[in-house]
Amino acid sequence: MAAALSLASATTAAQEPAGYASPFADNVPTRAFPLFAMMRTADGWAQALRDDSVLQTLTADRAARIPTGPCTPSPQCLADAWVWTDADIALVEGRLRRLVENPKLGKALVAQQMRPSGRFARYTALSDADLVAAAWAETAAATNRVIAVYAKGAAPRYPVIDATTFNMALPQMTDILSAHGVATVAQAKGTDLFFDPALRYAAGLLQMNERIDAGNFRPLLGGDNAGTNRAIGSMNWRGKPYTALLVFGHGPEDAQSRTGVMGHIRLSIAADMFARGVAPFIIVSGGNVHPNRTPFNEAVEMKRLLITQYGVPADRILIEPHARHTTTNLRNCARLLLAAKFPTDRPALVVSDHRTIQYIGSDVLAQRNLAEMGVQPGRLTPGPDQFTLVFTPDPIAFHAEAIDPLDP
């Protein structure tokens, strides 16, 4: 009972669309691979997956691929054994389509979890079977991408800040990947589903590389944001044309500084607007980004400065501590505006220095949004001055970008 109450409390503070509360923990694996969490918890699915003889055979075949001794080319061969092959992906898709044909199973997974969660929002127009198939293909590709980057040394989209922490050319990599593979196999459980071994391997790679950013500060509307979340719920919104001021971080490139130069400028602009009553809340957005693997979080540091240097009350500031790029600043703020139940009948204001505002409102960023996230997280229009843009969030922002496990 205590565990159930704890989970219920956590899900109510999670970053979810209105009307949806995920029935699973809010952590790195469930953020990066939500389909697996949903298949595990949707009524009837775990047993149906375990009972499927084709998936049982696939699980055994995949286990047999894992080297029990030296292999070549090493160390890549040690990681390749965990990858979902094209044949694997096609076989699983066929089995999932068959299971979704069962009305009870289809309702439990798609109608009660996948669609209301928003995490597959790009696929809302698809039929249930096609939605599950698209989500599975995306999830398998994301698993393979984690293995490619964090076990085989492939370059991520932004290698300066997202790459592996290991030198893949070192001879020790064979020992490291061998140890990880043996440990992963040993952690197998009788209750495992067909995806669990690969999920465990990929999640372990993220932990080994200290790339667990997506699980930090969860549940997002609890912890540091709990007081502000309560203040939002009790706010009298009469006469307030904007919900919040959105301030995006600027990370420094030196190890001593906690906030980049442009970050200080943006904070001074936002603090002045807050003092003038332009909006009753400030959302600061930015993760642990620059320099690579910095211990300083942009959103946390911006909140600290707003309180200590500008006197902004702590319960008027929400932190969005995960974004690593301007694209995800917008997307994550859209999610937070909707999850925290800000009024939807009025917009927020993006606040920045005048040059960055021009970039945020440009076609260049709009195209980058589509290229990197596959969605436009909201609508941007000119603001009342050179430092602002009017922003209306779109629920499609909840779509989980599985290819970016550091901030999906």
User: What's the whole-number mean pLDDT along residues 154-172?
Assistant: 89
pLDDT for residue 383: 98
pLDDT for residue 217: 96
> Mind giving me the DSSP string for 220-245?
TTSGGGHHHHHHHHH---TT---S-E
The DSSP element (H or E) to which 284 belongs, if any, is strand 282-285
Q: Tell me the per-residue pLDDT of 308-361, one tens digit each, with 9 for 90 and over.
A: 999 999 999 999 999 999 999 999 999 999 999 999 999 999 999 999 999 999
For the ranges 174-183, 256-265, 388-397, the lowest mean pLDDT is seen at 256-265
User: What's the whole-number mean pLDDT along residues 152-163?
Assistant: 92
pLDDT for residue 6: 40
Single out the residue of 149, 150, 118 nearest to residue 135, CA to CA: 118
pLDDT for residue 62: 97
pLDDT for residue 12: 55
Beta bridge pairs of residue 378: 393
At residue 22, the 3 state secondary structure works out as coil
Q: How far is CA 343 from CA 15, 237, 244, 312, 379, in A?
A: 16, 8, 10, 21, 16
Q: Is the pLDDT of residue 169 over 90?
A: no
Provide the pLDDT confidence category of residue 184 given band limits of 50, 70 and 90: very high
At residue 392, the 3 state secondary structure works out as strand
Provide the pLDDT confidence category of residue 9 given band limits of 50, 70 and 90: very low
Single out the residue of 239, 81, 61, 102 nearest to residue 147, CA to CA: 81
CA distance 408 to 162: 13
For 256, residues 6+ apart whose C-beta sits below 8 A from its C-beta are none
Count of all residues that appear for the chain in the document: 408
